[in-house]
Amino acid sequence: MFTGIVEEIGKIAGIQKGAKSAVLTIQAEKVLEDVHIGDSIAVNGVCLTVTSFEKNTYTADVMNETLQRSSLGSLSVGSSVNLEQAMAANGRFGGHIVSGHIDGTGTITQVKRDDNAIWYTIMAEASLMKYIVEKGSITIDGISLTVATVSDTDFQVSIIPHTQANTVLSDRKTGDVVNLETDIIGKYVEKLLQPQKTPEKESKITLEFLAENGF
């Protein structure tokens, strides 16, 4: 589990590509201060497992599902990436609940400066947009951000100078693809409200039934 508060910017030091997979070697410092084999580190918001490490680098396997679902497949040697270790039980919850399980990607359609802030407009598929609400939380490349505005096809966020200086979002430009993880609570609520059907018996609990009975 993560919070979306980026700890440092790392760099891709090597990529070993398989037929449908990859092994990333990532250069880092802060996230390696207390690292162990099997630890989870979010890379641009994607939860990856540490498979080996040295003083300033570590490796992580990326399977086909992750390459298909996220933007990690477009990384190259030298690419900068946002890094966050899994949240410690005694740590501060500075962002929001982030699983590191990417729902999909979005495309930046506009970048606009507003005094000390930068506004990003991001277009996403309808399957993701339904979970994105104004003033709700969204994770973009592993960064916990507040949604400022929402339309049927896109949404906007605004970043402060600190976020600009400490994440790779400041390098993103129009046309770039970013990883998106929507608020996990909304997805669970939707699932729980959907009536479950079994071969033996069809549920009579519907959204209309719940509404009529005060839910």
Least confident of 37-46, 77-86, 159-168, 192-201: 192-201
Closest CA to 85 of 132, 135, 142: 142
- Mean pLDDT of the 163-176 span: 94
Give the pLDDT confidence score for residue 196 in this predicted structure: 63
Give the pLDDT confidence score for residue 209 in this predicted structure: 79
Closest CA to 179 of 10, 9, 44: 44
Give the pLDDT confidence score for residue 170 in this predicted structure: 87
Give the pLDDT confidence score for residue 93 in this predicted structure: 77
**End-to-end distance of the chain based on CA atoms, in angstroms?**
30
pLDDT tens profile 78-134: 999 999 999 887 777 788 889 999 999 999 999 999 999 999 999 999 999 999 999
Considering only residues 91 and 186, tell me which one the structure prediction assigns the higher pLDDT: 186
CB 93: neighbour CB atoms within 10 A?
11
Give the pLDDT confidence score for residue 105 in this predicted structure: 97
Give the pLDDT confidence score for residue 186 in this predicted structure: 86
pLDDT tens profile 14-72: 999 999 999 999 999 999 999 999 999 999 999 999 999 999 999 999 999 999 999 99
Answer yes or no: is pLDDT of 199 > 80.
no
